[in-house]
Structure 1
């Protein structure tokens, strides 16, 4: 989970400025909006693949719900709130994400 959280944090840190502009374009352009929706779906598929690699007996919730939880927690919107509004750096976000994913997705060993 540590590697995954670090990877998500690194990607979101690079993607955040572009994503904000893309989201603003999607608000006024139908094609940009369709592309944004497609990007969200691809991210969800990526999180589903991640959850499928976890031992199912360790999941707190069914795989579909676990996917939705990880997808929401690891979203660009949550990253932007914590980074831009709360002033978190990438390392703090990555550590929080690691702990939160473990707490929300997995039962204790």
Structure 2
């Protein structure tokens, strides 16, 4: 990951025509440190990466796109205002048989 972040820092800097020295000044590090970031020799601290995104006019997501595990979207629908109230009311029904009957009714209606 360090190599990928360093490479993205390098490509963004290059695309802007910015020197290593200038980026180093903006980040408060030496140009040698910028070289180490590029090679992945040294890790880029999060605070430095935030400063780099600002200096390079890039979103933080630019550095992380495609990295890490794929997060799958939930297959269950999100509950909204009235739905939440209905779910809370259902949970307050003390009789478990009545609660089960309501759940069965709701599921049957949802399948129509």
Please report the TM-score for the alignment, with normalisation by the length of structure 2.
0.24
> Based on CA coordinates, which of the two structures has the bigger radius of gyration?
2
In the superposition, the TM-score normalised over structure 1's length comes to 0.24
- Structure scoring higher RCO (CA < 8 A, sep ≥ 6) equals 1
